[in-house]
Chains A and B, each alone.
Chain A
Amino acid sequence: MKRHLALAAVTALASAFAATAGDVVGTITLKGTPPKEKDITPLKEDPNCGKLHTAMPTTKFYVVGAKGELADVVVSLEGISGKSTGASAKPVVMDQKNCIYVPQILAVQTGQKLVVKNSDPVLHNVHSVPTVAGNPEDNKAQMPGGADLTFSFPKAEEFIKFKCDVHPWMFAWVSVFDHPYFAVSGADGTFKIANVPPGKYTLKANHRKAGVVTQEIEVKDGAPTTVALSLDAK
């Protein structure tokens, strides 16, 4: 009976907490004209991977919409740490399709599983190259049709490089946070960080090439906080 009461109390507290949390939503745009993306000539010329592409593939550093909506920006809250729920969070999936990582920019929590698939008819090696102490470097082979690979990082680190050394044009970047309050902007430039506890935060938007922009925000009880951020093309 006591156990049931305790459980009910915890549930009630959690519900109360969830009710007061708010979402941070927003849009990110790019100012200026980004540099022209580069042709990935080695991919097109590769005897195995090249035939998976009918047109010349290009790099995708700046994925920008018609109105400047910028994708692949990692948005996160600063000053909030040690709240990772990665161990119980749903795994994040990265695939290898046509000898390119999809997606190329991802974000996970510490301890959260990152599952890497190989949908290609060729073998790859998946090589993670973290630089923060405590995040181990790893390099795993993955044959065509081979089992999924799983990676996980215990320490927070921005933009851990993943690469395939067999096909050196293949690379992706994975940011690791020790809390769940982050998002990656989509093709329409929008993002949503859900269930943020009320309070004042610094919102940080980090793009591999356009750099970093921050904004002070305040999340109020249950209300969504809307922000608009812009980054300059370099």
Chain B
Amino acid sequence: MDLAEKGSRPLHWFAFLTAAATLVLLGIGGLVTSHGAGMAVPDWPTTYGYNMFFFPFSYWMGGIFYEHSHRLVATLVGVLVVALTRWLGGRPSRLPLAIIGGLELLAGLALGALGPNWRGAGHFLAGIGGVVLLAAAVWARNAPAPRPLPLLGWVAFFGVQIQGLLGGLRVVLFQDEIGIFHATLAQLFFLLLCLVVLLTSRWWRTLAAALSTVGGGPSSRLSWWMLAATALILFQLMIGATMRHQHAGLAIPDFPLAYGKLWPAMDADSVAAYNQQRLEVTALNPITAFQIGLQMTHRLVALLILVAVGVCAAKAWRLARRSGRAQGAVATNRPVQSLARISLVWFDLILVQALLGAATIWSNKAADLATAHVIFGALSLALGGIVTVISFKLPAPAQAGLPVLEPGGRQGWNATANAMSQPFSSRPLPSGAASHTS
């Protein structure tokens, strides 16, 4: 293990920690919406007039518990992302961080001076500026991570601040639309961090090193299938976010039928009747025809995703089998095999997600199930992003073979890379391949 290898491992685990914290944050965000608690704290960035870090625990009741926890964990994720940006960017990131942090600090102080109405926002901005300045001032003189990681770090840096701002504006501007955007951006933000985790992993570096001698090639059709399926999942998550942030509960209370039919009536009289017939225990908005249409679209897109991811998994397995046969019965192609395995996990996730969607309806939108549906949605998108990136990295099957890998990490990869410079038919089998597959 060389020094670079040693140094990158903590970065990888730190990225993993940041992504995990973000998933927790996403889950708490899901609980906030599932419990209808998004406005349980009427002020921002203060909490019932208190500095959010000193809000008495005795007041953490009902919906406040979820909303206030969401704000605190969001702050933690913000700090982690600033540190990650600094780590990924290395020494060159210090100056921009110092400038941005200084500007935010000054802007925060200026806002605070405008009057009591702006003091909270001023403190919030100044606090962020302070953290960013700290990241710029106190750190080792590390080298930047390989491209595009520093860039991804900066995207995360700005993304987390925009997310914080959107969350706050949702509260003070009373705009559900901001909540929808906030929820969708959260999913994309989690995907971004998962990609950082992938790109900082030893597995990825090994793959990149091995493939560097092969060079890029035309992507297989599988890559495009995976990209399309992932885009479909993102679209589905946007629909889901819209449904959740309209605070109308279940627009259709039954599944697999819809109001007892394959396609529900959506005329004004029918919608009025639906609203009159449902007895809400919590304060829900009335159902509209748009929301019924949206839920039907959500169901249909779910079916499409199930098919698309199923096709992806099947194609990935076929590719893995084919590449194994092409390189001899005992040869192992780890990236392709891994892609096939991850694709299967992806498909399993989608199955669980579909089941959770149905259970959410059958339970009359129980908060824990609805939140699990949000979390599994995020994981489905993230895994879709990961398999897509991996599939685009791999050469197309039409190229002169795929990398044959040995267990043992970098050495095995290097041997593979050397082997791949020879014509496919004359490549030697890696020495460890037989034992690996036996």
Interface residues, chain A, with chain B CB atoms under 8 Å away: 35, 37-42, 46-49, 59, 61, 122-123, 125, 127, 129, 137, 139-141, 143, 161, 163-171, 209-211, 234
Given contacts A141-B43, A141-B48, contact A234 B277 (CB under 8 A): yes
B residues in contact with A35, CB < 8 Å? 277, 279
Given the complex of chains A and B, what is the CA–CA distance between A148 and B279 in angstroms?
A: 30
Residues B283 and A168 in contact, CB atoms below 8 Å apart: yes
Given the complex of chains A and B, what is the CA–CA distance between A166 and B276 in angstroms?
A: 25
The 9 closest A-B pairs by CB, nearest first: A171-B283, A163-B283, A165-B40, A166-B62, A139-B42, A234-B276, A137-B174, A168-B282, A168-B36
Given the complex of chains A and B, what is the CA–CA distance between A169 and B174 in angstroms?
A: 20
Q: Which secondary structure characterizes the binding site on chain A?
A: loop
Chain B: residues with Cβ within 8 Å of the partner, total of 28
Add 17 more A-B contacts to A61-B279, A140-B42 (CB < 8 A): A38-B279, A39-B281, A127-B42, A139-B42, A141-B42, A141-B49, A143-B48, A161-B285, A163-B283, A165-B36, A165-B40, A166-B62, A167-B62, A168-B63, A171-B280, A210-B276, A234-B276
Question: How far, in Å, is A187 (CB) from chain B's closest CB?
Answer: 20
Residues A166 and B40 in contact, CB atoms below 8 Å apart: yes
Question: How far, in Å, is A153 (CB) from chain B's closest CB?
Answer: 15
Question: How far, in Å, is A103 (CB) from chain B's closest CB?
Answer: 16
Given the complex of chains A and B, what is the CA–CA distance between A171 and B286 in angstroms?
A: 13
> Which of A59, A129, A141, A164 interacts with B281 by CB under 8 Å?
A59
A residues in contact with B276, CB < 8 Å? 209-211, 234
Residues A165 and B61 in contact, CB atoms below 8 Å apart: no
Q: A-B contact count, CB below 8 Å?
A: 83
Given the complex of chains A and B, what is the CA–CA distance between A209 and B64 in angstroms?
A: 30
Question: How far, in Å, is A175 (CB) from chain B's closest CB?
Answer: 15
Given contacts A165-B63, A166-B63, A234-B273, contact A125 B39 (CB under 8 A): yes
Question: B54 contacts the other chain (Cβ, under 8 Å)?
Answer: no
A residues in contact with B39, CB < 8 Å? 125, 127, 139, 165
Given the complex of chains A and B, what is the CA–CA distance between A90 and B391 in angstroms?
A: 71
Question: B355 contacts the other chain (Cβ, under 8 Å)?
Answer: no
Residues B283 and A123 in contact, CB atoms below 8 Å apart: no
Contact digits for B1-43, partner A, Cβ 8 Å, 1 yes 0 no: 0000000000000000000000000000000000111111111
Given the complex of chains A and B, what is the CA–CA distance between A85 and B285 in angstroms?
A: 30
Question: B57 contacts the other chain (Cβ, under 8 Å)?
Answer: no
Residues B63 and A167 in contact, CB atoms below 8 Å apart: yes
Question: How far, in Å, is B414 (CB) from chain A's closest CB?
Answer: 59
Residues B174 and A47 in contact, CB atoms below 8 Å apart: no
> Which of A46, A47, A143, A169 interacts with B283 by CB under 8 Å?
A169
Residues A139 and B62 in contact, CB atoms below 8 Å apart: no
Question: How far, in Å, is B264 (CB) from chain A's closest CB?
Answer: 17
Residues B49 and A165 in contact, CB atoms below 8 Å apart: no
A residues in contact with B303, CB < 8 Å? none
For this complex, 15 residue pairs linking A to B, each with C-beta atoms less than 8 Å apart, are: A35-B279, A39-B281, A46-B62, A123-B59, A123-B61, A125-B40, A125-B41, A129-B285, A161-B283, A165-B37, A165-B67, A166-B64, A171-B280, A209-B276, A234-B276
